[in-house]
Every structure is written in structure tokens, then in C-alpha cells.
Amino acid sequence: MCVARPSLVIALSSIASVLLAAWASAAEGSDRPDKLAESYRLIGHYQLVSKLRVENSQAEAVVISPLRYRVYSDGMEIRVYVRSSDEDSYTAYNIYRADGIGVAKSSGELEMVAGVQAFNTEGKMLRQISVTRNSLTMVKTPPRSHRVIITRAKAIPVSDNTTGQ
């Protein structure tokens, strides 16, 4: 019977932890935007699920293309990155609430889940975002308009993200 030495087990465990951390960092690092400050951490990757235009009390689905969002935060700001033609662009949102987001259960009850809410008012367009571990919801309200655009995305594993999108 072979008995493992405690010091050997600890050493192998430490090496495995370092390698896993390096692998996770490399996976995120290869996809991390070039000029993003180190203070920003990856919140998650999200796949576009639906886009609705609400106008005159009616919701109309908008045709969507496959789109993936990469979301980062420094605790004060959320940045939502999209890659197009091998170039990253982002929209920044100022966090105004970080104590949870109300989500409706199937029973109709409201449940608080961990998440943040933020806003952006560039170009006189009001943009609001809610981010949780599982979903991303963006709402845009153009100036002088009765139209609202609601974009929903679901979380995807980092390994499912392709750099071409």
C-alpha cells in the first residue's frame, strides 16, 4: 500500500491551484480588451437572446444577429464590450445600485438576486442596465420618443466565447 506524504500532497495541491489560476487568467487575458485598466474584473460573458421594441403599447421583436457581450466592472462603473471586425468597443454605465435586483419567480413573487444596476446618458439617450450572474438586461430610451428598446442576454461560460464575435 502506498501512503502519500502530507508535504507532497500539499505541494501538488499548491501547484494545481497555481496552474488553474494561471489557466483562468490566460483564458480571460486573451479575451481581455487591450486598454482596460487592471482595476476592472470580468463579470461574465453574455449571449444576446432577444431584442424588443416597445412602442404605442405594443412589443415587437427586432431581428437580431448573434452577438456576445463581455462585461467588466471596477465597482463604480460597468463596461459592456462588443467585438466587431477584430476591434473592441464598449459602453460605460455608472453603477447606482449594487444591493441586488428584483427578479420575478414563476409563481409571480419577487425575489432579490445578487446583481448591479447602472445607467448612461450619452447622446441624450437614457440607457439602463441590470447585470446578474445569469442575465443581462439593457433598456434604451431615445430622447423625445415614446419608444423603448429592451435587450436581453443570458450568461454563457467563458470557454464558449469566440473572439470573432
**Residue-wise pLDDT tens digits, 40-95:** 999 999 999 999 999 888 899 988 888 999 999 999 999 999 988 878 889 999 99
Nearest alpha carbon to residue 100 among 148, 142, 133: 133
Give the 3-state secondary structure of residue 47.
strand
The whole-model pTM stands at: 0.73
The C-alpha atoms of residue 148 and residue 112 are separated, in whole angstroms, by 25
The C-alpha atoms of residue 55 and residue 24 are separated, in whole angstroms, by 43
Q: Copy the grid coordinates of residue 118.
A: 447602472
Domain spanning 37-160, CATH class:
mainly beta
